């Protein structure tokens, strides 16, 4: 009856399995957590309720049970490039995006919803954002975003897609509406923005233009130290894995031949 895809099959097993994987293998530094209690808290946020009337607060117990600190300088905010972020962050080894925190990790890539007057999950369909804002998935990411932004500190990174149709810095968007407003001025020393175009995509947005300019101005007005880099090299290397022969991926040195080192010994 809803327009969105239904609940991911085997949701309970996935969430509980991911929970153990996270606390035992991915990030044991978070310490002991009760994975079955975490699943119960997650489920109780939306089960047996109108799927269009789930609020971020309904996940409060879940957030409290899964909460852990976010290492300084590791936060990575993003819009419109989830797969790139997943490989750049490397499950928290390089950066810790919200999907690399325990609370985000448990839900990443999943869909879920319940139904009023029934204790079951709806595997047939779930409401989309267009059908209702207060659906189980969007309300979840709202509280996850707020929690993540509030606890981010040091130098924070923002990876934006310069080829995105709606602009690199979408408004409305989770970053604009739930993350920036929760940045703690006294904890964040710098905001580093990276605007990276898709290898074969158009160059719609760059540092200092269009929506990125709006973002830079907003952050500076809020008193943050802001830097912005177009096509940041480390991220380009990752993208270029899939396009080794593309002209954008020819990382030739511009140094004179002699500076690149001798070819033969003499």
Segment 112 to 141, residues that bind ligand ENP, using CB under 6 A: 137, 141
Q: Mask: binding to ligand ENP, 139-178, rule CB under 6 A, as x and -?
A: --x--xx----------------------------xx---
| Residue pair 60/143 in contact by the 8 Å Cβ criterion | yes
The CA–CA distances, whole Å, from 90 to 94, 95, 181 equal: 6, 7, 27
Direct distance between the N- and C-terminal alpha carbons of the chain, in angstroms, rounded to an integer: 77
The CA–CA distances, whole Å, from 83 to 52, 56, 206 equal: 28, 25, 20
By the rule CB under 6 A, 97 interacts with ligand ENP: yes
Segment 4 to 43, residues that bind ligand ENP, using CB under 6 A: none
The CA–CA distances, whole Å, from 51 to 15, 127, 141, 210 equal: 19, 7, 15, 37
Segment 175 to 204, residues that bind ligand ENP, using CB under 6 A: 175, 179
Nearer to ligand ENP, 77 or 183 (CB): 77
Nearer to ligand ENP, 143 or 207 (CB): 143
Element (H, E) at 215: helix 210-221
Nearer to ligand ENP, 10 or 253 (CB): 10
Minimum separation from the CB atom of position 132 to ligand ENP (A): 15
**To 5 degrees, how large is the angle CA 73–CA 74–CA 78?**
115
Minimum separation from the CB atom of position 246 to ligand ENP (A): 23
Residues that bind ligand ENP (CB under 6 A): 77-80, 82, 97-99, 104, 107-111, 137, 141, 144-145, 174-175, 179
């Amino acid at each position: 009856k809803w327009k969105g895809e239904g609940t991911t099959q085997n949701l309970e097993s996935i969430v509980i399995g991911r929970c153990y994987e996270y606390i035992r293998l991915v990030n044991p530094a978070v310490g002991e957590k009760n994975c079955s209690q975490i699943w119960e808290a997650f489920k109780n946020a939306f089960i047996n309720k109108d799927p269009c009337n789930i609020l971020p607060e309904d996940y409060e117990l879940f957030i409290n049970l899964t909460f852990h600190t976010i290492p300084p300088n590791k936060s990575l905010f993003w819009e419109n490039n989830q797969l790139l972020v997943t490989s750049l962050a490397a499950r928290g080894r390089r950066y810790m995006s919200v999907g690399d925190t325990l609370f985000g990790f448990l839900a990443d890539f999943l869909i879920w919803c319940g139904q009023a007057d029934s204790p079951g999950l709806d595997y047939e369909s779930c409401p989309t954002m267009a059908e209702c804002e207060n659906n189980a998935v969007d309300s979840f990411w709202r509280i996850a975003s707020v929690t993540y932004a509030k606890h981010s500190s040091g130098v924070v990174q923002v990876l934006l897609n310069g080829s995105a149709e709606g602009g690199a810095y979408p408004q409305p968007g989770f970053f604009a509406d739930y993350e920036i407003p929760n940045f703690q001025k006294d904890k964040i020393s710098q905001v580093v923005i990276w605007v990276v175009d898709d290898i074969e995509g158009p160059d719609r947005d760059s540092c200092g233009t269009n929506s990125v300019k709006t973002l830079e101005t907003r952050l500076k007005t809020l008193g943050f130290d802001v830097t912005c880099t177009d096509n940041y090299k480390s991220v380009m290397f990752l993208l270029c894995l899939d396009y080794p022969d593309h002209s954008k991926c020819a990382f030739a040195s511009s140094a004179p031949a002699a500076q690149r080192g001798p070819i033969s010994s003499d």
